[in-house]
Chains A and B, each alone.
Chain A
């Protein structure tokens, strides 16, 4: 047997489910159960309309995608960086890597701090990944990391790496 508080909370949930579903199908509002507290309806409509979902800057999104790509595939990244200039797969340090600069005048953070932090993060992720996969699979993964197979599924991560390092053979 539900108490009145639990019963009211359940009615609120049903209304909220309807409210979110109504927006998905383009309806102006959810069907209203007269038993739902009007204060709840008022607040829910208001929050639904006014609480927006902020999105990070494009620069941050792409920068983090690059850092995740590097963390996911450090072997290929290092090979590309150390390849002789002009060789297929060569990438000059920082040539295509979007650097995270200040996003606004308010955010003038020293770049070196971000660089060091990123390097530590990437290193930590790589070590954790190797530990979790075991040395054998990590080696196999590292060996296969540098290979790009034409026709093989190329996700966005590969495209990001491709964007960083140009054509990787």
Chain B
């Protein structure tokens, strides 16, 4: 996540988002071997995003690989744009951090994969949350079951709401970052999340009755 910094301006307070990854990005630009640090940092997040979208470990791994390969190739073209956030409306959507940029690549890769997937049979949702278990078997089974129920409720959401929920709850992104990744305004993302949560609540409560 970027660190917001207030800047004085004649019209309104502006928030410049300083990319926390700037040092790592610059190191990777100097020597691509240093890209490994960015890769290690964001692998779990990118993989999670892909997994929740594609419902399959292997498809998620393939997509993750493509994301990082594309990011490595395109890194010299990445431009951090830090000073175009306007508080509090978020109407101006020009800012970009490495994480947002990486997730935009991920969104495109996953969208392509989903288009390809539509031509293939889709795995049932019950199997989609079959995560590897470790440690206490009973606890892991309970966790899987709870996770499966929650995930099924999320999976039934429309695409934009589902993506917003995954980015918010799994990848712990801010509304501003999600807005950048989905290409929506911050206000729209807030409404997406609010409606998504209401739908999930209705779904979960319906399942309990």
On A, residues with C-beta under 8 Å from B are: 5-6, 8-10, 12-13, 16, 20, 37, 39-40, 42-44, 46-57, 60-61, 64-65, 67-69, 71-73, 103, 107, 109, 121-122, 124-125, 128-129, 132-133, 141, 145, 153, 155-158, 160-161
Contacts and interface: CB of A to CB of B under 8 A. Distances in A.
B64 A56 contact: yes
Given A9-B187, A55-B48, A155-B36, 6 more contacts: A42-B205, A51-B151, A56-B60, A67-B69, A132-B74, A157-B36
Main secondary structure of the interface of A (DSSP, over half): helix
Listed from nearest, the 7 A-B pairs whose CB atoms lie closest are: A157-B36, A72-B32, A157-B33, A50-B150, A39-B201, A128-B73, A9-B190
Nearest to A137: B76
Given A39-B198, A39-B202, A109-B58, A52 B190 contact: no
A64 B191 contact: no
Contact of A68 (B36, B45, B169): B36
A16 B168 CA distance: 9
Interface of B: 27, 31-37, 39-40, 43-45, 47-48, 51, 57-58, 60-61, 64-66, 68-69, 72-74, 76-77, 131-132, 143, 146-147, 149-151, 154, 165-166, 168-172, 175, 187, 190-191, 193-194, 197-198, 200-202, 204-205
Contacts of A158: 33
Nearest to A126: B73
